[in-house]
Amino acid sequence: MTSSSSWLQATSVAADRDASYLSVQGARKTYATRNGEVHAVERADFDIDEGDFVSLVGPSGCGKSTLMSMIGGLETPSAGHIRVGGSPVTAPRRDFGYVFQDATLLPWKTVFDNVLFPIRTQKRPVADYLAEAERLLRLTDLWAFRDKRPSELSGGMRQRVAICRGLINDPQLLMMDEPFSALDAITRDDMNLALAQLWDQVHKTAVFITHSIREAVFLSDRVLVMNARPSRIVADIRVPFARPRRAEMQEEPLFNEICGFVRDKIHEGHGSRQPASA
């Protein structure tokens, strides 16, 4: 275990962009409105290695979802470049998975059919994915509910279905935009542990947006902190806890120290214009 006195002193090594799976270079997003330009993201520069779980945190309205949309090909950057696997991202890709705040399940379809829905829309052979759908539902303790409709499930169960749906096409990059924000505190804690356990099995590259600092530190390999709009990345924090993650680690002094550091960086707002590495 990394000691409280040493984790902040360990400076992160600069990423090799040629070797990184996801590379964001000078990404900016500006919207033209009737009242003039709105700078949603001023500049974003970071790299993510394959298999890393990285969270984006920051104040409301700072452009986290906009940045994720650019990474996912749902928005076009006004400037800069985004590359995944060495190729520029110019549109949504079949090897990406998405999970949003709302589970957005089709109410007339069963759990099993909801998980397989992306396969049908992409016109892939459904028979090739039946075993994977079963595997994911078993990993998330939903196999017994495979014939249920969304209205028969709890909020946490619906989000687990949404995560299975996001993983069904074996994505190289999974993007999750506050998937647990609508859940109550107890269910949210359960979902954090369930996602951490699932990650030990599937181990995909992930970008995760959350307003919960503790959630970000618990789940992530790295936490990127954005300041208020127009935003930049003002801190890049590598979480020094080994996997698998255990619920008890949230009671450790080091965990709370890291959460406090992240909170301070968010509250600094525009005070720092250069990224801090930890």
What digits encode the pLDDT tens for the residues 208-253? Answer: 999 999 999 999 999 999 988 778 899 999 999 998 999 999 999 9
pLDDT in the model for residue 158: 93
pLDDT in the model for residue 90: 87
- Angle formed by the axes of helices 155-167 and 111-121, nearest 10°: 30
Q: Which structure tokens are listed for 210?
A: 């959350």
pLDDT in the model for residue 19: 62
pLDDT in the model for residue 8: 57
Comparing CA positions, the residue from 195, 103, 181 lying closest to residue 117 is: 103
pLDDT in the model for residue 6: 53
For the cut 90, the answer to whether the pLDDT of residue 271 exceeds it is no
Q: Under a CB-based contact definition with an 8 Å cutoff, are residues 209 and 55 in contact?
A: yes
pLDDT in the model for residue 278: 55
Which phi and psi (to 5°) does residue 236 adopt? -130, 105
CA 98 from centroid of its chain's CA atoms: 9
CA atoms within 13 A of residue 28's CA, in its CB half-sphere: 11
Domain residue extents for the chain: 22-84+171-277
> Tens digits of per-residue pLDDT, 59-71?
888 889 999 999 9
Q: What is the mean pLDDT of residues 77-91?
A: 90
> Tens digits of per-residue pLDDT, 112-158?
999 999 999 888 999 999 999 999 999 999 999 999 999 999 999 99
- Look at the block and give the residue holding tokens 């930890």: 278
Q: 200: how many CB neighbours lie within 10 A of its CB?
A: 11
Give the dihedral sign, CA 12/205/24/36.
negative
CATH of domain 22-84+171-277: 3.40.50.300
CA atoms within 13 A of residue 227's CA, in its CB half-sphere: 20
Q: Under a CB-based contact definition with an 8 Å cutoff, are residues 229 and 58 in contact?
A: no
Comparing CA positions, the residue from 254, 277, 214, 225 lying closest to residue 9 is: 277
Q: Under DSSP, is residue 237 helix (H, G, I), strand (E, B) or coil? A: strand
For the cut 60, the answer to whether the pLDDT of residue 274 exceeds it is no
Q: Which structure tokens are listed for 75?
A: 């928005």
In 168-203, which residue ranges form alpha helices assigned H by DSSP? 185-202
Among the listed ranges 97-106, 113-122, 249-258, which one has the minimum average pLDDT value?
Answer: 97-106
For the cut 50, the answer to whether the pLDDT of residue 272 exceeds it is no
pLDDT in the model for residue 1: 44
Q: What is the mean pLDDT of residues 84-97?
A: 88
CB-based contacts of 37: which residues, under 8 Å, 6+ apart? 30, 31
> Tens digits of per-residue pLDDT, 3-51?
444 555 443 444 455 568 999 999 999 888 888 788 888 889 999 999 9
